[in-house]
Structure 1
Amino acid sequence: MIKASLAIAAAAAAGLSLAQPALGQSDSSQLGAVHFDTSCTPEAQKLFDRGMLYQHSFWYRASQQVFGDALRADPECGIAYWGIALSLLWNPHVPTPAKNLAEGADAIEKGKSIGTKTQRERDYLDALSAMYADYEKVDHRRRIQAYAKAMEQLARRYPNDDEAQIYYALALNTSASPADKTYANQLKGAAILEPIAIRQPQHPGVAHYLIHLYDYPPIAEKGLEAARRYAKVAPAAAHAQHMPSHIFTRVGYWKESIASNVESSRVASADNEGHDQLHAMDYLVYAYLQLGQDEKAAAIIDEMNGVTGFTETFIAGPYALAASPARYAVERGDWKAAAALTVRPSPLAHVQAITHFARALGAVRSGNPEAAKADIVKLTELRDKLRDAKDAYWSQQVDIQRQVATAWLLYAEGNRDEALRAMSAAADAEDKTEKHPVTPGVLRPARELYGVMLLERGNANEALAAFEATLRKEPNRLGAYVGAAKSAEKSGDSAKAHDYYGQVVAIADAADSTRIELAEARAFLTKR
């Protein structure tokens, strides 16, 4: 009776009531194939495997519910508490909300208290406990690194356990330094998963995590096979429909990204998964803007405002709601609209910073530099808040935003040479880090904005180099192609100008008529 009560209590503590009944009714044949061997009863084992299907596609509410069902089927199934604790972490690429950390730590302790029947299951619980140990005092970055070390030990102890290898590969990615441009962790993780992909082609986690591991500019093309496979492996999972677009975005396949995220948004909406839906929609807005299809991007933004079923303390939904309207204005150079953006209330400092950055840039570029100063001050405050919270990554990203806005303020005030030096430094700083998986990209790359400044200053050759550098990092960006074409034309390199204007037409051939860049490109090509 004590163990049964513990199971019921854990289910309640884990918030299983948040999961909708429909979540447990999805056709498992549409989620892939996973077997995680346990010592639980046959009925609980079947449920546990189903929970793993959801978990490997980051469908946390569903996996949490089904692991709870496994406990109800077998109150002595201690490893199910590991599943609940794993579900409560949510996306391992971002910090877990404090409430979830408390519930997850409780689930780990309950799993240990009722015990497990095998050493392997005890080792899984011990390894995951690294993500919850001293969570009140130890930041996410240090805990994820400790977890990666624990998973390394687990993977070595059980070399024939694919699940141990898979979760170690994922931990290698989530614990990797954003400043490591050799991508040592990511390539090591991919080397672990590629052979498993051959043995288990229907495993959703393998395809999913390979996409994350290859989600970096120099190695993105290595992820195309996994990207095209994952959506077919788990068509019922919104995240599986979305994830291919991470690779498509990296290589500039905008039409493929749109198709991926249209379907992801549809599936997420049907399951009331607000975070997944908004995340997909932000990628949609980004892709439509690269095609010059502004009306479609605007329609998505309007639709986003009606999405529910997300949490303000978890980054995916709030980030998308802040980023999409900001990128819509900044990408199109609608500086008055950017300056007029309203900061959406958010407990997340880096989410607020997105809008303040767009406002500052918009004010400066629309001829009102004085108005930008308050937003730049706010960016400094938000950066310091993130530093105080020991959030090294996002404090750096916000500081880069501050640097860019300050550079343009200097430019507007007539300090042109100082502005160019500041803008170059900001671009260098951004190039040394990586975009976060939550976003398809920054509002506009710092290197691209540096090219714009150089071109306005009359340095066409240097501007061309900046735009070309942007394209090497972020292929098929429409703004970079336009900038490269204009720079080449002004520098007298008509061959390059012809090539780049041709790329503008190729990408944006179906752009809205309001996109004057397309008309200019066609006019140049007609003269040749």
Structure 2
Amino acid sequence: MRLLMAAALFGAAALYGQENHSHQVHTVAGLGTVNFPVSCNAAAQAKFRRGVALLHSFGYEEAAGSFLEASAADPSCGMAHWGVAMTYYHQIWAPPTPEELKKGSAAAALATRTSAKTERERDYIAALAIYYHDADNTPHLARAVAYREAMKGLHDKYPKDDEAAIFYALAIRGTADEADKTFALQKQAGAILQEVLPRNQNHPGVAHYLIHCYDYPPLAGLALPAARSYAEIAPDAPHALHMPTHIFTRLGLWDESIDSNLASAASAKKRVAKMHPGAASFDELHADDYLVYAWLQRAKDDRALGILKEMRAMSKVDDPQFAAAYAFMAAPARYALERRDWKAAAALQVSPEWFPWKSFPYAEAILHFGRALGCARTGDVAASENEIAKLGELKRLAPKKPYDWAAQVEIQEAAARAWLALAKGEQAQARAMARSAADLEDRTEKHPVTPGPVLPARELLADMLMETGAPAEALAEYRAALQVAPRRFRSLAGAAQAAEQTGDRSTAKRFYAELVELTKGATAPRPELAQANTFLAQK
């Protein structure tokens, strides 16, 4: 380590790479191991390492505190300000808010002014400065791509600096187009992470970013080892306890998702009680969103309802950002829609009223989607039309870049219009609209924060085909939906019922049996389960 620091102090990139080959790592209690030497004093280095470990688990607020402590311990530590600036650039989540951009730009400028002692450190600082440069006039995505290319140069210059590789992989993943079904950039980032993985088995960023790279139906299985190790690597990070459930949700591993999100929510509660007494944690809400989804698949509706009651009792949030907005809107909508409680869906309300909903039109759209479906399914055509009109307004307000939220609202609008058409007796048009919505959803991809569509459009198409007397076509669509979202209660039940109606008792038996197995210990008297048990009891 002393040789490594000496190399850094003299800016000798070659010697840095030579010494890094020995891969001296430092374990940060409860947060994993990192290998990021900087030319700051020992006290500052310890704080810096903790900040980096937290950064890799998206513990941004706490990471900023550690970096500021590093700066206080060594005012000449330019990388401490780099760390602070990094905490305002949430590459996977969303572009910085104007306030975050202001703070991040100030920290990046301070990092540049605090002359770092090594060329490598100056390169890290210069790369990040590119992202914050001319932020008022240059779009987020253009700056993110410029930062990615700067990190490529840094990675090429220091090929044995695994942190450079890991941060470069994150930059690649952060600029991936979610609509690109080749997943080219995701695979590129994943390959870099897989290359450094053997040397970084306990690194929080490697496991974390592999999950993000492979959080897609065709790739999710590749991330299962990372998903099952990440929580053990960083057990003190609420996000690390939650993040594996992205993969568990993709694969329909509901019990693993439930266990992980319960742990994440508990950890988030403990942390927010120390940092923001009296507030709820957005990390807790994010876990709650996934918990409600998973409990509903297991037909444990009472547990899902318990989560909703906890959410309704919240009076403020530590960080009113998108993950919180999405959870507040999606969880109650799921509770109504997954259970086919159309009356409850039609009566969904904005909650909580104190949340800054104007900043999140794409989250608010979930409410109106649920209402539109509920009204259409209960025959209130006029009310459904009003809700669909509101979806159109929100679609125009929703951003198209860097993530195309407008397209997601358009899918909801199209699916709702299909059910409205059916309510009006326009069967042919309704089917065509439902198929169009499903095809559009197939061409897009969920936002990395969300567990999935509130109701999949292809599943809704299958439902419509069942209701309009086309069970064979419906079975094909349910099967297609299950390829994307395996072990979903509604799709399994629908597939079983469709197969039964076509006379394919063997297929019906298989789907009914899977549904019964999925819902062992169910606490809800779902009619689909009664039908499954009746069918399976027949000789």
What TM-score does the superposition give when structure 1 sets the normalisation length? 0.92
Identity among equivalent pairs (%):
46
| Matched residue SS, 1:30 | coil
Cross-structure match for 1:336: 343
| Matched residue SS, 1:333 | coil
Match for residue 309 of structure 2 among 290, 302, 322: 302
* Residue 441 (structure 1) shift: 1.2
* Residue 390 (structure 1) shift: 4.8
Segment of structure 1 superposing worse, 90-99 or 495-504: 90-99
CA contact (8 A) 1:139 1:390 kept: no
CA distance in structure 2 between the aligned counterparts of 1:156 and 1:215, rounded to whole angstroms: 27
Give per-residue Cα distances to partners, 1:457-500, cap 9 Å, x unaligned. Answer: 11111100100000001111110000101111111111111111
Distance 1:56 1:390, change over 3 A: closer
CA contact (8 A) 1:386 1:392 kept: no
Distance 1:478 1:189, change over 3 A: same
CA distance in structure 1 between the aligned counterparts of 2:461 and 2:141, rounded to whole angstroms: 31
**In the alignment, does 2:448 pair up with 1:441?**
no
CA distance in structure 2 between the aligned counterparts of 1:315 and 1:392, rounded to whole angstroms: 13
* Residue 311 (structure 1) shift: 2.7
CA distance in structure 1 between the aligned counterparts of 2:312 and 2:127, rounded to whole angstroms: 40
Cross-structure match for 1:286: 293
Cross-structure match for 1:525: 536
Cross-structure match for 1:455: 466
**In the alignment, does 2:334 pair up with 1:327?**
yes
Q: Which amino acid counterpart does residue 160 of structure 1 have in structure 2?
A: K
CA distance in structure 2 between the aligned counterparts of 1:488 and 1:384, rounded to whole angstroms: 40
Cross-structure match for 2:235: 235
Give per-residue Cα distances to partners, 1:393-427, cap 9 Å, x unaligned. Answer: 10111111111111111111111111111110110
**In the alignment, does 2:44 pair up with 1:44?**
yes
CA contact (8 A) 2:56 2:204 kept: yes
Distance 1:365 1:130, change over 3 A: farther
* Residue 30 (structure 1) shift: 1.2
CA distance in structure 2 between the aligned counterparts of 1:333 and 1:141, rounded to whole angstroms: 39
| Matched residue SS, 1:33 | strand
| Matched residue SS, 2:299 | coil
| Matched residue SS, 1:361 | helix
Distance 1:494 1:413, change over 3 A: same
CA contact (8 A) 1:33 1:204 kept: yes
**In the alignment, does 2:437 pair up with 1:426?**
yes
* RMSD, aligned CA: 1.5
Unpaired segments ≥5 residues, structure 1: 1-26
Cross-structure match for 1:138: 138
* Residue 130 (structure 1) shift: 3.2
CA distance in structure 2 between the aligned counterparts of 1:55 and 1:391, rounded to whole angstroms: 22
1:211-250 equivalence runs, <5 A: 211-250=211-250
Cross-structure match for 1:13: none
* Residue 156 (structure 1) shift: 1.4
Q: Which amino acid counterpart does residue 107 of structure 1 have in structure 2?
A: A
1:75-114 equivalence runs, <5 A: 75-90=75-90, 92-114=92-114
Match for residue 372 of structure 1 among 381, 384, 391: 384
Distance 1:377 1:133, change over 3 A: farther
* Aligned length in residues: 500
CA distance in structure 1 between the aligned counterparts of 2:97 and 2:318, rounded to whole angstroms: 13
CA contact (8 A) 2:258 2:294 kept: yes
Give per-residue Cα distances to partners, 1:185-240, cap 9 Å, x unaligned. Answer: 11111111113221111111111111111111011011111111111111111111
Give per-residue Cα distances to partners, 1:349-389, cap 9 Å, x unaligned. Answer: 111111111111111111112101111111111111125x7
CA contact (8 A) 1:58 1:91 kept: no
CA distance in structure 1 between the aligned counterparts of 2:140 and 2:418, rounded to whole angstroms: 32
Match for residue 516 of structure 2 among 505, 510, 514: 505
CA contact (8 A) 1:71 1:80 kept: yes
1:350-389 equivalence runs, <5 A: 350-387=362-399
Cross-structure match for 1:311: 319
Unpaired segments ≥5 residues, structure 2: 1-26, 273-279
Cross-structure match for 2:148: 148
Give per-residue Cα distances to partners, 1:327-366, cap 9 Å, x unaligned. Answer: 1111111111111111245121111111111111111111
* Residue 391 (structure 1) shift: 5.7
| Matched residue SS, 2:58 | coil
1:25-64 equivalence runs, <5 A: 28-64=28-64
Distance 1:513 1:329, change over 3 A: closer
CA contact (8 A) 2:238 2:265 kept: yes
**In the alignment, does 2:488 pair up with 1:477?**
yes
Q: Which amino acid counterpart does residue 384 of structure 2 have in structure 1?
A: A
CA contact (8 A) 2:91 2:174 kept: no
| Matched residue SS, 1:218 | coil
Q: Which amino acid counterpart does residue 425 of structure 1 have in structure 2?
A: S
| Matched residue SS, 1:131 | helix
CA contact (8 A) 1:471 1:480 kept: yes
Cross-structure match for 2:361: 349
* Residue 147 (structure 1) shift: 2.2
CA distance in structure 2 between the aligned counterparts of 1:360 and 1:310, rounded to whole angstroms: 32
CA distance in structure 2 between the aligned counterparts of 1:283 and 1:517, rounded to whole angstroms: 23
